[in-house]
Amino acid sequence: MTIIEETIDLDELRARWAYHPEEGHFTATVSKHARWPVGRIIGGKDAYHDPKGYIRVCVLGRCVMAHRLAWFYVHGRWPVEQIDHINHIRDDNRIANLRECTNAENRQNIRPEGYGTSGYLGVYRHSSSDAWSAKIIVNGRATYLGMFDTAEI
């Protein structure tokens, strides 16, 4: 939880905004300013996306990641570590698409194209030959699996 997240009051958030879990966005339920009429959508697909593709929203004078705010709204607490988008689509903030996880769990859910040149998690071209090296990391401890002629193990 960030310092900014600590300052957002859940009761006030729920009183002024409604989260729509099937669509993954928020709408204003109380208008305190002409820019925020009742029904105005924030966090929809046309919302501000940060450089990594995540939606950032501003509520109650604070700007936060929309997926973290959705988790807070539904579960009544901020996630302890990270929120993973199960389908890999960073602006899909439907609650069914979000899961709380550790950094290690989140890294295991990367797409195959994020696995480097081999297309396999933990398999890399060895720098001094044409062989492929393989290793796994479990609980922060790396285990070397060996060198192979092909990337497929």
Query: What pLDDT is stored for residue 5 in this prediction?
Result: 83
**How far, in Å, CA of 5 to CA of 115, rounded?**
32
pLDDT under 50 in the chain at which residues? Answer: none
Give the Cβ contact number of residue 112 at 10 Å: 10
pLDDT of residue 123: 84
